[in-house]
Amino acid sequence: MRILFSLLTVFVLVFVSACSPARETQKGPVVLAASSLQDALTEAAEAWTAKGHPAPVLSFAGTSSLARQIEVGAPADLFIAADEQWMDHLAAGRHIKGNSRRDLLGNSLVLVGPTSSGKPLDTIDSRTLIGALGQGRLAVADPEAVPAGRYAKQTLESLGVWDAVSARTVPAENVRLALELVARGDAALGIVYLTDAKAQPQVQVLHRFAAGHHAPIVYPAALVSQSTNPQAGDFLAFLFSDEASAVFRKHGFTVGIAP
């Protein structure tokens, strides 16, 4: 009887050992991505899953917040940032697999207001911007921590209006929250990505800022150093495919910027 029990135990252990790797490969990669990617990346992930792959686990937040999570060892396989600065920071700390890093997307910066705002603004200067604000506030992502906020500040400085409106800005934790402040009427205007504006029917684009007013808006993607999920690299490669590119274009992103 003891022999039979021992044989059964060995069989179970061997069976579990044999099955464990297979089960592990069926887990989708954990993807940490900038909040501005939420709609587009979710749709791209659904297209990937429809091909029979395990569904990626997507988590969206401000780029700086996600980068800090990776620094302290939060479980993650793939990181997609909204600027190169935070990806450079992680690369310096060897938190990403350097040979996996590629520039995935580009974006544009726009001024938005409620759908009742009226006509778009042809030019932005102190007079036109303050006039459009009225007694309201200007929602931006936090310029001290969030890429979208940093781009917004660079733009307003380039246009010579930052000093005139900085005291009336409302810094948000991420660009999606800045967008929601405008959509809810808690801010008169906001500066967000074009892709965010397209995703929110309760706002309208009042002005599209020329790219020369701010640093290039680039979304780099890379595998996290601690990742062991074999699906992560495949999913990253899929994001550069024609199918995924069509999804990103539909949401307003620029694709094909990588060499």
For residues 191 and 118, state if they share a domain.
Answer: yes
Q: Side-chain half-sphere of 112: how many Cα atoms within 13 Å?
A: 34
For residues 150 and 96, state if they share a domain.
Answer: no
- Residue 91 sits in which domain range? 26-105+219-250
For residues 201 and 139, state if they share a domain.
Answer: yes
Structural domains counted in the chain:
2
pLDDT digits (tens, 9 = 90+) for 173-209: 999 999 999 999 999 999 999 999 999 999 999 999 9
pTM for this one?
0.81
For residues 117 and 92, state if they share a domain.
Answer: no
> What CATH code is carried by the domain that includes residue 122?
3.40.190.10
For residues 89 and 32, state if they share a domain.
Answer: yes
For residues 117 and 202, state if they share a domain.
Answer: yes
pLDDT at 138 over 60: yes
pLDDT of residue 257: 63
For residues 136 and 206, state if they share a domain.
Answer: yes
pLDDT of residue 102: 96
Which residue has tokens 């450079």?
88
User: Per the domain annotation, does 35 fall within a domain?
Assistant: yes
- Under the banding of pLDDT at 50, 70 and 90, the label for residue 132 is very high
Report which DSSP code applies to 94: T
For residues 37 and 86, state if they share a domain.
Answer: yes
For residues 231 and 244, state if they share a domain.
Answer: yes
Instruction: Evaluate whether 124 touches 207 at the Cβ level (below 8 Å).
Output: yes
Tell me what the mean pLDDT of segment 52-71 comes to: 96
User: Per the domain annotation, does 8 fall within a domain?
Assistant: no
pLDDT at 15 over 70: no
pLDDT of residue 129: 95
For residues 145 and 95, state if they share a domain.
Answer: no
Which residue has tokens 């001024």?
111
pLDDT at 256 over 80: no
User: What is the rounded CA–CA span in Å between residue 69 and residue 166?
Assistant: 29
For residues 119 and 199, state if they share a domain.
Answer: yes
Q: Specify which residues 96 forms β-bridges with.
A: 224
User: Per the domain annotation, does 11 fall within a domain?
Assistant: no
pLDDT at 72 over 70: yes
